[in-house]
């Protein structure tokens, strides 16, 4: 049983002792938000970006965070000191709160912050991954909600197709994976990621904001057919950084190996993280 310390509402407690009432909307209706960031050598990575997205998700979901961003940072700092996990993942969860009728949104929500050990990639994971597409548009896509029902429901489908994960497409246009943003590289060297109806990933944001890369970084819609003809593809997330996508729907992307631009962007991102 874990002896890690967690923060629940206004107190630090042992993880095994942390609990919520069954009337919480996260349990009754799956209503709530979260954000997740990593620490490397005891330092949070892109913390301001993650906190800004956490508050943005809360506002759009009509949820209230009692603490200010600076107070939240102080809590995170103290949690890190108590757990002493230099390389870790920290998850901030805001549940819907205790509802008298299991439907009405209450005024107060429950804040949970947990920390677990995390192995952080030191470089590009060149072995990459494979994806299988599925027609789906994630609801409330601009908010990082607790709802991963479709992704979990599709796990047998993913396994049947010998894929590492699912890639959502809607009306023939590529969107994202359940836990990562998706990029493709055209044969002309343009790096493209979906613009609308996807989560604004923090790694995605920092790639798009890279300066003087020599690459054309574009946000726009692109089709499944364009993806099949791409020269490279990769996904981005807090835990993966940049992970090459070698196959989609059983079709090799480019030469089926980690591409040159993917490798170069990975090096630039890792430098920014450091």
Each residue's pLDDT, cut to its tens digit, for the chain (274 residues) gives 568 999 999 999 999 999 999 999 999 999 999 999 999 999 999 999 999 999 999 999 999 999 999 999 999 999 999 999 999 999 999 999 999 999 999 999 999 999 999 998 888 898 999 999 999 999 999 999 999 999 999 999 999 999 999 999 999 999 999 999 999 999 999 999 999 999 999 999 999 999 878 889 999 999 999 999 999 999 999 999 999 999 999 999 999 999 999 999 999 999 999 8
Query: Tokens 């809607």 belong to which residue?
Result: 170
Counts for the chain of helices (H) and strands (E), in that order = 8, 16
Helix axes 47-60, 69-83, angle to 10 degrees: 120
Strand boundaries in the chain, DSSP class E: 5-8, 11-14, 32-40, 43-44, 88-95, 110-117, 129-135, 165-170, 173-174, 176-177, 180-185, 190-193, 216-219, 232-237, 241-248, 251-252
The residue with tokens 């548009």 is 137
- pLDDT given at position 261: 96
- List Cα–Cα distances, 195 to 72, 102, 202, 265, in angstroms: 30, 35, 14, 19
Apex CA 166: angle with CA 164 and CA 167, to 5°? 125
Among 108, 88, 101, residue whose Cα is nearest residue 44:
88
β-sheet bridge partners, residue 70: none
Q: Residue 1 has which token pair?
A: 């049983």
CA dihedral of residues 51, 141, 227, 152 (deg, nearest 10):
100
Sequence-ordered list of residues with C-beta below 8 angstroms from that of 26, at least 6 positions apart, any chain? 20, 32, 93, 95, 96, 110, 146
Handedness of CA 28, 34, 38, 39 (dihedral sign): negative
- Calculate Rg over the CA atoms of the chain: 19
Query: What pLDDT, on a 0 to 100 scale, did the predictor assign at position 2?
Result: 62
């Amino acid at each position: 049983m874990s002896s890690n310390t967690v923060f629940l509402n206004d107190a630090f407690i042992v993880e095994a002792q942390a609990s919520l009432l069954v009337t919480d909307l996260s349990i009754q209706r799956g209503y709530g938000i979260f954000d997740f960031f990593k620490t490397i050598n005891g330092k949070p990575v892109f913390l301001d970006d993650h906190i800004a997205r956490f508050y943005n998700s809360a506002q759009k979901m009509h949820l209230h965070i009692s603490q200010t961003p600076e107070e939240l940072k102080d809590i995170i700092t103290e949690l890190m000191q108590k757990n002493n996990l230099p390389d870790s993942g920290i998850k901030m969860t805001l549940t819907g709160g205790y509802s008298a009728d299991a439907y009405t949104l209450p005024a107060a929500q429950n804040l949970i912050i947990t920390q677990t050990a995390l192995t952080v990639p030191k470089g590009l994971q060149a072995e990459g991954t494979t994806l299988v597409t599925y027609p789906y548009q994630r609801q409330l896509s601009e908010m990082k909600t607790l709802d991963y029902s479709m992704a979990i429901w599709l796990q047998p489908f993913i396994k049947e197709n010998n894929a590492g994960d699912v890639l959502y497409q809607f009306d023939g246009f590529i969107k994202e994976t359940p836990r990562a943003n998706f990029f493709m590289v055209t044969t002309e060297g343009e790096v493209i990621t979906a613009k609308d109806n996807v989560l604004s990933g923090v790694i995605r944001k920092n790639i798009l904001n890279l300066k003087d890369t020599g690459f054309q970084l574009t946000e726009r819609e692109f089709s499944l057919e364009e993806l099949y003809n791409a020269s490279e593809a990769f996904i981005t997330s807090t835990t993966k950084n940049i992970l090459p996508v070698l196959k989609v729907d059983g079709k090799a992307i480019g030469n089926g190996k980690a591409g040159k631009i993917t490798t170069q962007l990975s090096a630039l991102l890792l430098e920014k993280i450091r």
